[in-house]
Structure 1
Amino acid sequence: MTERSRRTRLRRTIALSTVGVLVLGVAAVGTLALAAGWFDKPERQAGHALASATPAAPVVAVRDAELIDRRTGDTLALLGANWPGFEYACIQGRGHNDGGDVDAAVAAMTEWGMTAVRIPLNQDCWFDDRPAIAYASGVEYRASVREWVGRLTQAGLVVVLDLHWSAPDGMPADGLRPMPDARSVEFWGSVASEYRKHRGVIFDVFNEPHSRFDATAGAWAFELDWRCWAHGGCAVPVENDRAQTRSGETYTAVGMIALVDAVRSAGATQPLVLSGVDYANDLRGWAAAAPDDDQLIASVHLYPDQRCADRACWARELEPLADRVPVLVAEFGQSDGGDAFLRDAYAWAEDHAVGALAWAWWDITDETSPDARFALVDGPDFAPRAPSGTALRELLGG
């Protein structure tokens, strides 16, 4: 273990010993407190960023190859989970999210020892001119997101807002697309305008850039390279990643540079999370292709069935990058009924001062659902579900 890793482990131990105290204040934080804390100028406080006297999320910033709380200069480790629902429930016409009682969830998250939560969003549902199938209105969707963000940040948790499901004009945002489209620029301009002054909120600009293989034709329908990742301009199949057939229709991809510019043009200065290619599993070209911005975080997703799924690959491809910029494992999980990979990925991240957010904070009652294999919690009180949930809670120190 490096000296940097030892310091990070020590800081995390101190942080987790204090973050549990925040649970006691969550229930007492009312609407007025949320409103009062939303745009407050952060006060400089002694000690670790999560040990403030009042529950409030750190003000996240990039300093060299690490994340810090801008109020204190202390380093931050973003450790926690993904909270799915906002990306799919709305476009399926059945609600804004799928996450249960927000206060009970936040209490459980802080009890587990989490410091960050990633919230996947839906591009169509954010806007008022949404598909007819979408639930309620864009105003209500945005208000629901705002409520969740407020609850989480008041409890001391950093929130990562993630563009998860998108689609080009004329198609519903009903799944993963290989690359952003022109509406994604508008999306980030709007999101950044709303949250540009909100403490503890950072932006993950596009979930999983990826190529697309056409199994029927036995050939690539679209091969994503780093130039298109950065600059856009390539022709991308319009179908989502679950489509079994291809129409041959395409849309023009928008690159990461345009999304970063959209956020910065809206006046938001928060760190931005940029995923690699190959479903965010490949960061080999990230440093050379990344936009010119000193507040960027490189994001990788780690699952056992991906190409880069062991410590040899992480040492070869991720560790050199983590010495240059902050790296975040924005998703990791295990779907085979065990927990060995989840434990190994988390331990690697902790040893190298890399953040890690598990997939997913779900209570899945249908055991036949493939999503149930990733579920971290059980029941309305969000008890840890074995084996992944119990393992994550143990690793977080809760």
Structure 2
Amino acid sequence: MSDRVLSRVARAAALLVTVAVGLFAPRPAGAAGTAPAAALHVSGNRLVTADGAAFRFLGVNRSGGEFSCIQGKGMWDGPVDQASVTAMRSWNVRAVRVGLNEECWLGTADVPAGGVSGAAYRQAVQDYVNLLVANGINPILELHWTWGRYTSFSSGCGDEKATCQKPMPDMKYAPAFWTGVATTFKGDDAVVFDLFNEPYPDWATLMLDKPGAWRCWRDGGSCFGIGYSVAGFQTLVNAVRATGATNVIQLSGLRYANDMRQWLQYEPADPTGNLTAAAHVYNFNDCKSVSCYDAELGPVAAAVPLTINEIGENDCGHGFIDPLMTWADTHGIGYLGWTWNTWDCKSGPALITDYTGTPTAFGAGLKSRLTALP
């Protein structure tokens, strides 16, 4: 990485620290009788609250913050007001994973007119986080769309701007993004950081160099098949902890977060001990059976807290997620349905048909399970 790029990243990080100071405002009131979301930390292979009670992330994803801004369509996809959160609470949702865009947060020149950017974007994220926490819901902030031109195998787009999923976070913006997010939310351990949505550096090597892909995952730098300098997860963990933030951090595995087999071997160092693992499981993934969960997810969950941050199926039913949720319940593992958006669930997993919380056939399976849990 050149000195010029390092200087640019340092200046951006310093600016974000300055902007973030003083952003905190009193939280909005939650639903009557609802306690705020609990501060969390890691104890062994479990997440626990301040009083030592075991905790699982059980809930939904909320998509929109990663794409609406960079597409010039405002901030969110659908409402993020009290009524929409009350609908989530009617499903017994306890965690909401919120997708973000690094260029919109940083306010780069790549964000088009009509897209919320910079200070306005950061304030909108903070407002939603405050609303969720006030309603007893733990927000998981995750970096979903990032900068970097990638046109090799399994490319999502040929645009270097943050307009699609990339195989790994970039050194140009990702460390500054996490410096800003961590500075904004440090001291509020109800908020969780998922450092990157779905890594797939293994696809850049055509699946031929898994050890190299895992080294890229942890250490970053120049990675085979990826044409930009990569910010490895150790770099991003360091960026978060350098702010003084002790928030729980989540790290997803390879193969779009579905391959966790060497997660423990390449786990980054974290001085706070608040590092956790995250996987994604769909019916079109490779690891999609109880035998695979036992073999690949089970050993990780035995060592560190594991959450299945995205569960879903592309048939608008819940026959696939039912046994997955049963397995997760049995092993004390949390799970989040994709996604609390009113999309056509025949073309991809969508939980609701409207923002009052009317479930799709797929969503009905998750709602039934969540509302039955204590």
Q: TM-score range by the shorter chain?
A: 0.7 to 0.9
CA deviation after TM superposition for structure 1 residue 100, in Å: 1.8
Q: Give CA deviations for 1:205-258 in whole Å, capped at 9, x if unaligned.
A: 0111103658xxx967997621111101233656xxxxxxxxxxx112111000
What does residue range 229-378 of structure 1 map to in structure 2 within 5 Å? 229-235=217-223, 250-293=227-270, 294-364=273-343, 370=347, 373-378=348-353
1:227 to 204, 211, 215: 215
Distance 1:219 1:132 in 2: 32
Gap change, CA 1:270 and 1:162, over 3 Å in 2 = same
CA deviation after TM superposition for structure 1 residue 272, in Å: 0.4
Q: Give CA deviations for 1:236-284 in whole Å, capped at 9, x if unaligned.
A: 656xxxxxxxxxxx11211100000000001110110000011001111
1:176 to 165, 174, 198: 165
Q: Which has the larger strand fraction?
A: 1
**Stretches of 4+ aligned residues off by more than 3 angstroms:** 34-38, 211-214, 218-224, 235-238
Contact (CA 8 Å) 1:236, 1:252: kept in 2 or not?
Answer: no
TM-score (norm 1): 0.78
Distance 2:370 2:170 in 1: 37
**Map of 1:133 onto structure 2:** 112
1:206 to 187, 196, 199: 196
Q: Give CA deviations for 1:77-130 in whole Å, capped at 9, x if unaligned.
A: 110010000000110101111032421221011111111110010011001223
The two structures, once aligned, show a CA RMSD in angstroms of 2.3
What does residue range 84-233 of structure 1 map to in structure 2 within 5 Å? 84-133=63-112, 135-168=115-148, 171-182=160-171, 183-211=173-201, 225-233=213-221
Letter in 2 for 1:395: R
Q: Give CA deviations for 1:313-355 in whole Å, capped at 9, x if unaligned.
A: 0001111221110001011101113211111211111110001
Distance 1:284 1:378 in 2: 36
Describe the SS at the equivalent of 2:228.
strand
Gap change, CA 1:58 and 1:219, over 3 Å in 2 = closer
* Count of aligned positions: 332
Letter in 2 for 1:178: P
For structure 1, list consecutive stretches of 5 or more residues without a partner in the other structure: 1-33, 39-51, 239-249
Distance 1:162 1:156 in 2: 19
For structure 2, list consecutive stretches of 5 or more residues without a partner in the other structure: 1-23, 150-158
Identity of aligned residues (%): 35
What does residue range 375-390 of structure 1 map to in structure 2 within 5 Å? 375-385=350-360, 387-390=361-364
Gap change, CA 1:63 and 1:339, over 3 Å in 2 = same
Contact (CA 8 Å) 1:84, 1:99: kept in 2 or not?
Answer: no
Which stretch of the first structure deviates more once superposed, 306-315 or 169-178?
169-178
Contact (CA 8 Å) 1:363, 1:382: kept in 2 or not?
Answer: no
Distance 1:308 1:344 in 2: 14
